[in-house]
Structure 1
Amino acid sequence: MTLQQLRYIVTLDQERHFARAAELCAVSQPGLTIQLKNLETEIGVKIFDRSRVPLTPTPTGEEIIEKAKKVLREIDSIQNLIVNKKNDLQGTLNVGIIPTLSPYLVPLFIRQLERAMPKMKFAIREASTYELMQSLETGRVDVAIMSTPTGNPNLKEFPLFQEPFVAYLYPHHPGLKEKNYHLREQDKLELLLLQEEYCFNAQLLDICSRGKKKVQEQSLYEINSIETLKNLVRASLGFAIVPWLSVRHELQEGFCKTFKEPVPVREISLVVSDSFTRKLLLEKMSEVIWKCLPEALKENHKYKRIKWNDSPYFMKILEG
């Protein structure tokens, strides 16, 4: 006995005519007849008296049809509950965000997000990409704002925007005299990385074609923030590649140089587990964040997306 068969007998009772019932059920008349026969054979009871015109339920059939109507009403109520839950914009939402993005993006959108969904409470926490992927799968985080693609089949990704990478140069760097930055071999040797920010580092290594280098050969300083990294560069202690949002107020100061097109970018997305169903909430978040972005990030350019999920550097971290 299936829900579809129950819908068929309820519709047959309503129409008392095979052809009309079949049309309403979007099934062929022979198909409807076969399904009815299968159901009657399974339960061992005749539901309709086919010898009468119009089609008439048997006494037992009438009881079965009433029970079927009740079951279908309950099913419909469950479906309505699910729809309402998906559209529910209240409660607490645990939002995770990578540290290389959080200080620069969250202040742009958080107040507008609270105004757009006044009944929601947003619990924001910074975590590494690896930690966020684990937290999404275990339910500790509902939505993550992070660089994608993750390559994780258990997660769903909803792209928000492309964030360019920018070269951050120390005083007297030869590249400061150029309009756009061109990667030098010396810069590859002086590249500063962030401690434990494996996906971000994998992207930088990809840009610099240094994917085969080991972590311990890269790390001279245990740097945990973009701001510390920038200060080290200003002190001429290395070279850095940083996200655009982290230097958007410094682009005219001389330390920053944009790459020549195609500009390397990272894709920033909302990421949820594959069981997450609150589609309206994601749409609202996406809309608010997009509206709060600086206009420069909304412009179309020739980009080259830098991935990290297939980097040998990152895969080694996962295996460890």
Structure 2
Amino acid sequence: MTGSLRIGILPTIAPYPVPDFIHHFRGAHPHVNLSIDEKENASLVRELRFGNIDIAISTLPEDREGILEIPVYIEKFVAYFSSECSHAQKIIASGSLPAEHMWILKEGHCVPNGSMNFCKNKDIGNHIYEAGSIETLVRIVDRNGGYTIIPELHIPFLSENQKDNVVHLNVNPPAQRCISILIKDDFIRERAVNAVLETLKSIIPDYMMEERLKKHKIKLR
């Protein structure tokens, strides 16, 4: 495979797969000119439609006319709370999330069910500062107290002491997000899409992956 491949990715996803993705992809496809850019969801869709990127790795956007979604893996959210708020651990674990103590991420807390869709409901959470990265959000919680919701793949980035402040949420439906490959519905570079998929499969834990993609390649036509 040769030529160029331009990938856009959501900033709240990028820290986890991108470093290994670059390493594995360039090793497997040394003749491809790879470029990766972080953009918010609306920008990713716009860049896809304009042809400025070939593939997006993101959650499913609201405006998806002309966009083909290929679900790749499911990532759960967990609660991260300040060590000063350890008394709230059981309350948070039960799924009762006290809004006044919650810090919000600018984009990324979009979970496809009403009770957890924090990015839509501005009445939920602390909006003094809407963080643009998970790392900033964790540091805000450590310094100011309260708690937040972080993706499961961020846990390995925490220190051992910080990992003690992680609580898995007992909510139904589960707090999770589907990470997908997004392309224009007339995109024909099947080998490129499968190259991205195979690289993600080598990075993302197997239990997160969509079952049908573990055994089958993507067929565009």
User: Scaled by the length of structure 1, what TM-score is found?
Assistant: 0.57
Correspondence for 1:91: 3
Match of 1:203 in 2: 111
Q: Is the contact made by 1:205 and 1:211 (CA closer than 8 Å) also made in structure 2?
A: no
Contact 1:194 1:201 in 2 (8 A): yes
Residue of structure 2 equivalent to 1:43: none
Match of 1:247 in 2: 155
Matches within 5 A, 1:97-108: 97-108=9-20
Q: Tell me the distance in 2 between the aligned counterparts of 1:213 and 1:246.
A: 24
Query: 2:52 aligned with 1:167, yes or no?
Result: no
Larger Rg over CA atoms: 1
1:220 aligned residue: 128
Aligned residue pair count: 207
SS across alignment from 1:286:
helix
Distance 1:271 1:150, change over 3 A: farther
In structure 2, what is the Cα distance between the partners aligned to 1:292 and 1:212? 30
Distance 1:209 1:277 in 2: 34
Counterpart in the other structure of 1:278: 189
In proportion to residue count, which structure has more strand? 2
Q: What is the distance in 1 between the residues matched to 2:186 and 2:34? A: 20
Q: Alignment identity in percent?
A: 27
Deviation at 1:216, TM superposition (A): 10
Cα deviations by residue, 1:53-76 (Å, 9 ceiling, x for unpaired): xxxxxxxxxxxxxxxxxxxxxxxx
Could you tell me how far apart the structure 1 residues matched to 2:120 and 2:31 are?
49
Residue 33 (structure 1) aligns with: none
Contact 2:8 2:55 (C-alpha < 8 Å) held by counterparts? yes
Deviations 1:213-272 (A, max 9, x none): 437985111422110100111124332111111123449621111123653210001101
Aligned CA-pair RMSD: 2.9
TM-score normalised over the length of structure 2: 0.81
Q: Mapping of 1:140-159 within 5 angstroms? A: 140-148=52-60, 150-159=62-71
Quick one: which of 105, 125, 141 aligns to 1:233? 141
Query: Is contact 2:110-2:177 (8 Å) kept?
Result: no
Structure with the largest fraction of helix: 1
**Conservation of the 8 A alpha-carbon contact between 2:103 and 2:148:** yes
What displacement does 1:292 show? 1.6
Partner amino acid, structure 2, of 1:282: V
Tell me, in whole angstroms, the C-alpha distance in 2 between the residues paired with 1:220 and 1:155.
34
Q: Say if 1:132 and 1:144, in contact at 8 Å, map to a contact too.
A: yes
- Distance across 2 between alignment mates of 1:274 and 1:170: 44
In structure 2, do the counterparts of structure 1 residues 296 and 108 end up closer, same or farther at CA, with 3 Å as the change threshold?
farther
> What is the distance in 2 between the residues matched to 1:104 and 1:90?
26
How far apart, CA to CA, are the structure 2 residues paired with 1:295 and 1:209?
26
1:129 aligns with 2:37: no
> Is 1:161–1:269's contact at 8 Å kept on the other side of the alignment?
yes
